[in-house]
Amino acid sequence: MLGHGAPFGPLRLTSSYAAGQVSVRNQRTYMTKFSDLNLNPKVLKAIDEAGYETPTPIQAGAIPAALDGRDVLGIAQTGTGKTASFTLPLITALARGRARARMPRSLVLCPTRELAAQVAENFDTYAKHVKLTKALLIGGVSFKEQDLLIDKGVDVLIATPGRLLDHFERGKLILNDVKVMVVDEADRMLDMGFIPDIERIFGLTPFTRQTLFFSATMAPEIERITNTFLSNPERIEVARQATASETIEQGVVMFKGSRKDREASEKRKVLRGLIDAEGEKLTNAIIFCNRKTDVDIVAKSLKKYKYDTAPIHGDLDQSQRTRTLDGFRNGELRILVASDVAARGLDVPSVSHVFNFDVPGHPEDYVHRIGRTGRAGRAGKAITICVPRDEKQFDAVEKLIQKEIPRLDNPVKPSKPAATEKTDAEEKPKSTRSRSSRSKSEPKTETPVEAITETKAETPREDTTSKSRSRSSSSRSRSSRDDRGGNRVVGLGDHTPSFIGLSFEERMAS
């Protein structure tokens, strides 16, 4: 059991976080300040220094239940304050005690390296007055450095599933002492294929652990896991964020390529036109693509046209991803081309524009993507490029947000391919007439066979050498004709050598 908690009855949050209101059932008092949540005084001091006073609905519901030692199932979208919902009670619970070598006291699982790094930053912010140790286990970083931290003993272990299991299989990590286990962005774990790893990790931790489980949606597979591994959890649900912030101006360009093999390059040209059209209003931007390969292609194309841009996706080296994100946050990089790995948990305070180069496959991801702009009451703009094959997904987006997104004009003025094609069609017969039509309309230039015969008759006799060459050529010509089924020559014909008619004695004498 975790201390510092006050008893709380069942709690369910049902209204939208975006509206700033929440309804609470069967609860005597609704907490409105962090100071009312029984957090460690040193944690409250860090919160105050960070400039926060009022908890969000998910925080107001999850923190008291977590402090009371109960399992928590939190359902809320990105940007509702879920990270603080588990970091604050976790720091409070771990303020007493000491970790042993290779045996972390708590475990936080995140789907991506970037999200894990941001969770680590949150711990640094809220635990700066509390003596706690932490380790960040993510791919792309040396095993040796991470082993040194684990060997010293850590209170909080923040990891991605793959790297955590790598350390465990190498015998460098023991999970028998984990008292609190946190699973963040569980639905993203499902999308990335981490569910089998999550189930295995659950099996490596003690049955008596406390589990804090957070997800934006409750897919059947997620619900199965919560029913299996959570014990009578406190369910705190902030209604799905189906609408984007009112400060975000949205638009879509319905684009169709002139030809299938030219669609991709023409689509990139439209993107450049949209960027140029924003002018100085575009201080920085994130461009989202559905596939990692497209992220690289779009970034390379923009660089070719002198745009200050860099790609970020899961296949890049971690050090490169960190440098790219830091450069974008610091204003050194103007345009970030990203896969959905950056759609969740990426906290950049002021992003002026978001471009959806592709319509996302899941409507909820549209809200996540454009939510990178228009944060904290700032104005933002989100523009999507939709090709015909993506219209069905785009209709689902409009259905989810219950709003028709304004159609924008294509910033790239189309050329006149029709006139060009017509001119080419008119000129083509003149320059490429068929051989049969030319043979009908033009006189034959070949010399008739009869003319050749007459010419041979009028030609003076050649010398013996020339005649021999002519005969040899004629012989080869007849031979080739014979192969094609002409008149065959029986025996040696006129070319019988003279020595064949001689007797043996005569031949020996000669």
Report which of 54, 31, 44, 78 is spatially closest to residue 346, judged by C-alpha positions: 78
Domains of the chain, earliest start first:
34-237 (3.40.50.300), 248-417 (3.40.50.300)
Q: pLDDT confidence of 177, banded at 50, 70, 90?
A: very high
Tokens of 481: 């004709």
Residue pLDDT, tens place only, 231-284: 999 999 886 555 667 789 999 999 999 999 999 999 999 999 999 999 999 999
Q: Which range scores top for mean pLDDT: 13-27, 189-203, 425-439? A: 189-203
Is residue 447 scored above 80 in pLDDT? Answer: no
Q: What is the DSSP letter of 9?
A: -
What is the C-alpha separation between 33 and 42, in angstroms, rounded? 16
To which residue do tokens 């460690």 refer?
40
**Is the model's pLDDT at 140 over the cut of 90?**
no
Query: How many C-beta atoms surround the C-beta of residue 38 within 10 A?
Result: 18
pLDDT for 120: 94
pLDDT tens track for 82-138? 899 999 999 999 988 888 889 999 999 999 888 898 899 999 999 999 999 999 999
pLDDT averaged over the chain? 79
Instruction: Please name the helix (run of DSSP H) or strand (run of DSSP E) that holds residue 425, with its range, or none.
Output: helix 417-431
Identify which has the larger pLDDT, 37 or 78: 37
pLDDT of residue 247: 83
Q: What is the pLDDT of residue 461?
A: 45
pLDDT of residue 413: 75
Average pLDDT over residues 23-36: 55
Give the integer Cα–Cα distance in Å for 382 and 292.
21
Question: Binning pLDDT at 50, 70 and 90, where does residue 501 land?
Answer: low
Q: What pLDDT was estimated at residue 365?
A: 83
The CA–CA distances, whole Å, from 137 to 154, 230, 344, 345, 441 equal 12, 24, 19, 17, 82
pLDDT for 305 beyond 50: yes
pLDDT classification of 315: cutoffs 50, 70, 90: confident
Dist CA 192 CA 215 (whole Å): 14
pLDDT in tens, 421-439: 443 444 344 444 444 444 4
State which of 22-26, 119-123, 317-321 shows the largest mean pLDDT: 119-123
* pLDDT at residue 374, as a whole number: 81
Percent of the chain with pLDDT over 70: 71
Q: Which residue has the higher pLDDT, 421 or 31?
A: 31
Q: Is the pLDDT of residue 11 over 90?
A: no
How far, in Å, CA of 352 to CA of 381, rounded? Answer: 6
- The confidence band for 400, taking pLDDT boundaries of 50, 70 and 90, is confident
72 vs 454, which has greater pLDDT? 72
Cα 123 from Cα 89, distance rounded (Å): 11
Contact 90, 106 (CB under 8 A): yes
Tracing tokens 């230039």 back to the chain, one arrives at 445
Alpha-carbon distance of 186 to 193, in angstroms, equals: 11
Q: Structure pTM?
A: 0.63
